[in-house]
Amino acid sequence: MARLTDKTTATAVTQSSLIHIVNTNDVTQNSAGSSYRADLGQVANAIGGYQYYSAVTITSSDILTSNSVPFEILPNPGANSYYDAKFIMEYTYNTTGYVSGAESVISDGVNSVYALGDLANFVTDTVNIVQSIETLQPAKMQPNNPLYFFTEVADPTTGDGEILLKIWYTIRTFG
């Protein structure tokens, strides 16, 4: 029988990749412990952290219509489910700043959940900006809803910058 140390290292690891788990407290299969399989998603849930990563580009045309046509950044997570997420925004300034005067947020379509701030403030120094995005306090979110980039009150005007939204997330089940 080949040893684990003799095996080739995996190169295409995904959330559904299987790993071997030995529970030494469970002696029903063997006095040394019982063997089970698990996927990496189960391990991530057990130890904390985020299971998935996505990067979404929000173009200038998406930003300019972000009140009238909210931009979907993550799809509906499924029945009775919601997102547990961390966001980093990279704003690339081009030549013209946005005129907004309204908060841009990440919304579940009903509630504003994460605050990005006023886009006009990102470009006061006419430079590129990196910003972590914080949960609004108190934040509330409804299960079974996608997440959107949304500008409250009205669409921004002018502006030609772009946002790269980096998202680390896990889909949680309510209850």
Q: Please indicate, yes or no, whether residues 101 and 168 belong to a single structural domain of this protein.
A: yes
Q: Please indicate, yes or no, whether residues 137 and 67 belong to a single structural domain of this protein.
A: yes
Pairwise CA distance, residues 86 & 50, whole Å: 8
Q: Which of 145, 169, 164, 136 is nearest to 62 (CA)?
A: 164
Three-state secondary structure of 115-175: EEEEHHHHCCCCCCEEEEEEECCCCCCCCCCCEEEEECCCCCECCCCEEEEEEEEEEEECC
Pairwise CA distance, residues 107 & 145, whole Å: 9
Domain contains 25 = yes
Alpha carbons within 13 A on the beta-carbon side of 52: 13
CATH number assigned to the domain comprising residue 58: 2.60.120
- Show pLDDT as tens, one digit a residue, over the chain (175 residues): 677 677 787 777 777 788 888 889 999 999 988 988 888 777 776 776 788 899 999 999 999 999 999 999 999 999 999 998 999 999 898 998 888 777 888 889 888 888 877 676 665 557 788 888 877 766 788 899 999 999 988 898 888 889 999 999 989 998 8
* pLDDT at residue 120, as a whole number: 65
Position 30: which residue type?
A: N
DSSP-assigned beta bridge partners for residue 137: none
Domain range enclosing 61:
52-173
* pLDDT at residue 82, as a whole number: 92
Q: Please indicate, yes or no, whether residues 139 and 71 belong to a single structural domain of this protein.
A: yes
> How far is Cα of residue 52 from the mean position of the Cα atoms in its chain?
7
Asked if 159 contacts 101 with a C-beta cutoff of 8 angstroms, the reply is no
* pLDDT at residue 138, as a whole number: 67
Q: Please indicate, yes or no, whether residues 82 and 144 belong to a single structural domain of this protein.
A: yes
Asked if 67 contacts 81 with a C-beta cutoff of 8 angstroms, the reply is no
